[in-house]
Structure 1
Amino acid sequence: MFVSGAYVPESFRPDDYREWPYTIPAVAQVVEQGLEFTHPVTFLVGDNGSGKSTLVEAIAEGFKLDARGGRAARKSGGPDLGKTALGEVLRLETTARGARMLAGPRLRKKGFFLRAETAFSMTENLGGVPGYWDEDTAELSHGEGFLAIFRSMFRDPGFYVMDEPESALSFTASLQLVALMHDLGRSGAQVVCATHSPILAATPGADVIEVGEHGLRRARWADLDLVAGWRRYLENPDAYLRHLVDE
């Protein structure tokens, strides 16, 4: 592993938690208690607005990954987006391997931040660019383009952060990503992923952290609210749909 925890130094902690993002319970908990990484693959699972994307974005920034999504911070000619509010104060506790990688030359840094918001434009613009993927992903479907990114950019031992990578994936493609993340964990890589997908969260050996109004809590896959909701819906969709659509 490369990162063993995330924390906010006491000198950076806010005096007033009534401003975003500190109004988010999960963010406030990380500020006060920190977040420990105990497994090579970690999932943050929660509903929209729970704070999981805010957390993974700041974690990616803490490892000096491109805030727009992509590899280690690069001179791309695009506008400097700066850091997010949480990214400005969040610090990472690195392992010896992580410290060596961060201190080494940029080209030797192995990491990638995939965020659903920008991944579609990446598939159109980076196919064939040296250091990225060979396929012309502009000619592929979104799902095929995502899989091309995964196969090319998530293959060496490194630190990989993903924000809702399932957004373009079918059921079978999601299973392929499960296999890839499992293999990454066994190869010495580390993955931190925010997801809505019960398929991804079922990756064998992963640490699953449920994010919500309660803050953060570790949970078994079978006990996740996400899994319970999908299970009830798939067993009886009419029980939900009759309240939403007219007969």
Structure 2
Amino acid sequence: MLIERAYVDVPQGEGTAENGWPWTVPCVRQLAEEGLAFPAPVTFLVGENGSGKSTLAEALAEGFGLDSYGGSAGYKYASSREASLLGGLMRFDPTREGRAMVRGPRVRRRGFFLRAETAMEALNGERRSNRLSRSPDEMSHGEGFLLAFRERFAQRGLYVMDEPEAALSFSSCLELVGLMDDLGRSGAQIICATHSPLLTALPGAAIVEVGEHGMRSVEWAELGLVDHWRRYLNDPRAYLRHVLEG
């Protein structure tokens, strides 16, 4: 692992809802007040759309030196994109193993930020820099994701993912779970914002539920998304009758 805790270096007088966005987001306010601990090599951020989990993931990536647009440490594919307020204020308490990477110059940092909506453009940038063996344009969306997982998620570093399951089949998600486990065991660290009950079932991973309450650690079986999927697969009509006419 590289990071034990993330926190925000909040300017005096800021960090409350009265200061506007992003402090109006409950999980961001809690981050400013308490920080966020990482007790395991793999951490999942889980919550409804609009809960702030993607905001957290982006800020963590940017604070570490990964381009918030997506891609590797030290490379900018969206050079005109300014640093976000939250990402610019993000700070880390490193582990002993991560101290040189976190506190040293950015050129020492290793990792990748994969966000679903910009992934293909970022991966094409990786190909132009000869960091991928094939062009993602020659593949399906899901195949491009898997190529990045296999070839760019291969060394000790920080890997931040925002809804990677968006382009993946069931079997591809299982492959990603195996890769996450291998990375975590090798000394790398993974932070993943997701809606997937499959990914979050990785044994030993930490799960942080994000919502109106802010952030809280939960077990996989306690997740609302796990309960809803279980109920839906058992009886789809119990849910569909609320959204289908007739």
**Same fold, TM-score > 0.5, yes or no:** yes
Q: Distance in 1 between matches of 2:65 and 2:119?
A: 18
Q: Distance in 2 between matches of 1:141 and 1:80?
A: 28
Q: Which residue of 2 aligns with 1:141?
A: 140
Question: In the alignment, residue 116 of structure 1 is paired with which amino acid?
Answer: A
Would the alpha carbon gap of residues 183 and 125 (structure 1) be closer, same or farther in structure 2, given more than 3 Å must change? same
Q: Which residue of 1 aligns with 2:91?
A: 91
Deviations 1:218-247 (A, max 9, x none): 111011011111111111111111121123
Q: Distance in 2 between matches of 1:192 and 1:123?
A: 19
Identity of aligned residues (%): 52
Give the CA deviation at 1:152.
0.7
SS in 2 for 1:127: helix
2:44 aligned with 1:43, yes or no?
A: yes
Q: Distance in 1 between matches of 2:125 and 2:53?
A: 27
Q: Which residue of 2 aligns with 1:33?
A: 34
Give the CA deviation at 1:136.
2.3
Give the CA deviation at 1:95.
2.2
Q: Which runs of 5+ in 2 are unaligned?
A: none
Give the CA deviation at 1:105.
6.8
Would the alpha carbon gap of residues 155 and 26 (structure 1) be closer, same or farther in structure 2, given more than 3 Å must change? same
RMSD: 1.8
Answer whether contact 1:13 1:31 (CA < 8 A) is retained.
Answer: no
Question: In the alignment, residue 82 of structure 1 is paired with which amino acid?
Answer: E
Answer whether contact 1:125 1:138 (CA < 8 A) is retained.
Answer: no
Q: Which residue of 1 aligns with 2:178?
A: 179
Q: Which residue of 1 aligns with 2:164?
A: 165
Q: Which residue of 2 aligns with 1:8?
A: 8
2:226 aligned with 1:230, yes or no?
A: no
Would the alpha carbon gap of residues 10 and 16 (structure 1) be closer, same or farther in structure 2, given more than 3 Å must change? closer
Would the alpha carbon gap of residues 12 and 183 (structure 1) be closer, same or farther in structure 2, given more than 3 Å must change? farther
2:179 aligned with 1:192, yes or no?
A: no
Q: Which residue of 2 aligns with 1:239?
A: 238
Question: In the alignment, residue 162 of structure 1 is paired with which amino acid?
Answer: M
TM-score (ref. length: structure 1): 0.92
Would the alpha carbon gap of residues 242 and 25 (structure 1) be closer, same or farther in structure 2, given more than 3 Å must change? same
SS in 2 for 1:97: coil
SS in 2 for 1:113: strand
Give the CA deviation at 1:34.
0.7
Deviations 1:31-56 (A, max 9, x none): 11111111000001111011111011
Q: Which residue of 1 aligns with 2:114?
A: 114
Answer whether contact 1:113 1:162 (CA < 8 A) is retained.
Answer: yes
Deviations 1:129-182 (A, max 9, x none): 32x210222111101110000001111111111111111001111111001001
Alignment coverage as a number of residue pairs: 244
Would the alpha carbon gap of residues 175 and 15 (structure 1) be closer, same or farther in structure 2, given more than 3 Å must change? closer
Q: Distance in 2 between matches of 1:100 and 1:195?
A: 29
Q: Which runs of 5+ in 1 are unaligned?
A: none
Give the CA deviation at 1:90.
2.0
Give the CA deviation at 1:125.
4.7
Question: In the alignment, residue 59 of structure 1 is paired with which amino acid?
Answer: L
Deviations 1:7-52 (A, max 9, x none): 1235356164131111111111111111111100000111101111
Give the CA deviation at 1:94.
1.8
Q: Which residue of 2 aligns with 1:65?
A: 66
Q: Bigger shift: 95-104 or 85-94?
A: 95-104
Would the alpha carbon gap of residues 113 and 12 (structure 1) be closer, same or farther in structure 2, given more than 3 Å must change? farther
Question: In the alignment, residue 81 of structure 1 is paired with which amino acid?
Answer: R
SS in 1 for 2:176: helix
Answer whether contact 2:71 2:126 (CA < 8 A) is retained.
Answer: no
2:24 aligned with 1:23, yes or no?
A: yes
Answer whether contact 2:16 2:29 (CA < 8 A) is retained.
Answer: no
Answer whether contact 1:128 1:135 (CA < 8 A) is retained.
Answer: no
